[in-house]
Amino acid sequence: MNITIVGTGYVGLVTGTTLAELGNSVYCVDIDEKKVADMKNGIVPIYEPNLEEMFLRNIQAERLFFTTNLKEALDKSEVIYLALPTPPGEDGSADLSYVLKVANDIGEMMTEYKVIVNKSTVPVGTADRVSEVISSKTQIEFDVVSNPEFLREGFAVEDSMNPARVVVGSSSEKAKDIMAQIYQPFTNTGIPIIFMDEKSSELTKYASNSFLAVKITFMNEIANYCEKVGADVDKVRLGMGSDDRIGNRFLFPGIGYGGSCFPKDVKALIKSGKDEDFNFQILEATENVNISQKVILVSEIEKYFGGNLEGKTIAVWGLAFKANTDDIREASSLDNIDILLKKGAKVIAYDIIAEKNVKKILGDKIRYAKNMYEALENADALFIATEWPEFKNPNFKMMAEKMNNKAIFDGRNMYPLETPEQNGFYYKSIGRKTILN
């Protein structure tokens, strides 16, 4: 099938590449000229494991194309996916301006039947709004389908090629048949395609992300309580997670959830509720707990230094909002660095993948190390913000030699307590005993 993808960010580019890998001809459209020029030259504009190989293979096979010209792509395709940003507006609601603008353009440009598939995360009722915008511009028949995306950054290719499920919201038999045809390679391997109405599909996305955000936040509160009563959250997590009604995923406590989606989607669902005179009490609590959880360790660092961070050098390992991505949107590292700098500390950070994006925001307000050990030179404390695999089994002896003072504040519970203890480190993690060396 010939398919257009509008927006080539984490979702659009991965979806486009996956659909090309499944044999479709895919035309990716973006307004960012540099990005499109790069992609035409075989450069993947984002860091996403395993994407480059598939991307290059499909360009080579002439199934994956890039353009800034929506009309050109539209004319070649029966199905148009929207993978556009829906950032939070001032009041927390999802900003639909990108989606509605492209809907308007499609209405003006289309010359024959199209299926418009919305992959962006959008509030309930957006399929209707997109339909209204298009109908105001054309008499030609079309259908709008809700097809939310559930991929995780860092595993986007894996999740896209092998999703847990595909949700399709549509009231049109014709559009449903077309969607069933696109996803037939999945049906064949037993991946369920769940058809429903547009509104339920739109809400499924927000409900899923919010549920996961609640699950993480619940564990963060359990972790904080563990510290009060002398329990160990890692043990509690294992004890809970082995009950398959609970499941062992997304139970990892830490320095709060970040990223481009959980924070924005929780906010947007709260706001959508308010618009209907409905209070999502559990989500409001989740959001508040998460805001304080993100910076829970920085006050510990301050306490450790007797309330004065002036002139202290803090090494930060990891800047991305989680491992295996270059994405720093709503990353906890940034909240913590901001406070550290305000309190007069000096920061030297190491994250080879996300550094480029952080430099765009923080520039030379902090220093950047070339490797994890360089960051530790003369540091008064190490703060671990992202669980990159290379931090999992470091050389503690070398760390001790480099650091001015042996203290680790671990926002990701990277080490069994015995390791820093045996190596003579002060070690503060989340929901576990503090090692007081």
Ligand X SMILES: NC(=O)C1=CN([C@@H]2O[C@H](COP(=O)(O)OP(=O)(O)OC[C@H]3O[C@@H](n4cnc5c(N)ncnc54)[C@H](O)[C@@H]3O)[C@@H](O)[C@H]2O)C=CC1
Nearer to ligand X, 95 or 284 (CB): 95
Nearer to ligand UGA, 142 or 280 (CB): 280
CB-based contact 191:163 (threshold 8 Å) = yes
Give the C-alpha separation, 250 to 259, whole Å.
Answer: 15
93 touching ligand X, by CB under 6 A? no
The interface mask with ligand UGA, positions 113-142, x = CB under 6 A, is --------x---------------------
Which residues lie below 8 Å from residue 312, measured CB to CB, with a gap of 6+?
305, 344, 345, 346, 380, 381
212 touching ligand UGA, by CB under 6 A? yes
Residue selected from 27, 47, 206, 257 as contacting ligand UGA according to rule CB under 6 A = 257
Q: Which two tokens stand for residue 23?
A: 């044999």
Identify the active-site residue in 214, 261, 323, 349: 261
CB-based contact 362:328 (threshold 8 Å) = no
CB-based contact 81:3 (threshold 8 Å) = yes
Question: For ligand UGA, which stretch binds (CB under 6 A), given 69-77, 258-266, 276-284, 298-306?
Answer: 258-266
> CB count, 10 Å around CB of 95?
15
Q: Which does 209 bind (CB under 5 to 8 A by kind): ligand UGA, ligand X, none?
A: ligand UGA
Note if 261 is an active site residue: yes
Which residue, 97, 89, 87, is CA-closest to 121?
87
Report the residue closest to ligand X, judged by CB.
Answer: 9
Q: Which does 258 bind (CB under 5 to 8 A by kind): ligand UGA, ligand X, none?
A: ligand UGA
Q: Please, which of residues 94-133 interact with ligand X by CB under 6 A?
A: 98, 101-102, 120-121
Q: Which does 397 bind (CB under 5 to 8 A by kind): ligand X, ligand UGA, none?
A: none
Nearer to ligand UGA, 186 or 373 (CB): 186
211 touching ligand UGA, by CB under 6 A? no
Residue 407: strand pairing partners: 426
209 touching ligand UGA, by CB under 6 A? yes
Give the C-alpha separation, 290 to 338, whole Å.
Answer: 17
**How buried is residue 136: exposed, middle or buried, by Cβ count under 10 Å (0-12/13-18/19+)?**
exposed
Q: How far is the CB of 293 from ligand UGA (least distance, A)?
A: 9
Nearer to ligand UGA, 208 or 405 (CB): 208
32: helix, strand or coil: coil
Q: How far is the CB of 409 from ligand UGA (least distance, A)?
A: 16
The interface mask with ligand UGA, positions 213-232, x = CB under 6 A, is ---x----------------
Give the C-alpha separation, 406 to 408, whole Å.
Answer: 7
Nearer to ligand UGA, 116 or 156 (CB): 156
Q: Among all chains, which residue has been given the structure tokens 């995923």?
A: 249
Q: Which two tokens stand for residue 41?
A: 């030259």
Q: Which does 63 bind (CB under 5 to 8 A by kind): ligand X, ligand UGA, none?
A: none
Element (H, E) at 201: helix 198-229
Residue selected from 5, 17, 30, 324 as contacting ligand X according to rule CB under 6 A = 30
Q: Determine the size of the site formed for ligand UGA (CB under 6 A).
A: 21
- Torsion, CA 19, CA 25, CA 29, CA 33, rounded to 10: 110
48 touching ligand X, by CB under 6 A? no
Give the C-alpha separation, 351 to 411, whole Å.
Answer: 15
Nearer to ligand X, 102 or 255 (CB): 102
Listed in order, strand segments (DSSP E) in 148-246 are: 166-169, 193-196
Element (H, E) at 64: strand 64-67
Q: How far is the CB of 94 from ligand X (least distance, A)?
A: 7
Q: How far is the CB of 86 from ligand X (least distance, A)?
A: 4
Nearer to ligand UGA, 298 or 399 (CB): 298
251 touching ligand UGA, by CB under 6 A? yes
Give the C-alpha separation, 319 to 207, whole Å.
Answer: 28
Cα dihedral sign, 422-425-426-430: negative
Residue selected from 321, 350, 383, 425 as contacting ligand UGA according to rule CB under 6 A = 321
261 touching ligand UGA, by CB under 6 A? yes
Which residues lie below 8 Å from residue 261, measured CB to CB, with a gap of 6+?
121, 209
| Side chain identity at residue 146, one-letter code | S
Question: For ligand X, which stretch binds (CB under 6 A), given 7-15, 213-221, 297-305, 411-419?
Answer: 7-15
Give the C-alpha separation, 12 to 224, whole Å.
Answer: 38
Nearer to ligand UGA, 237 or 406 (CB): 237
Active site (catalytic) residues: 261
Q: Which residues bind ligand UGA (CB under 6 A)?
A: 121, 149-153, 209, 212, 216, 250-252, 254, 257-262, 321-322
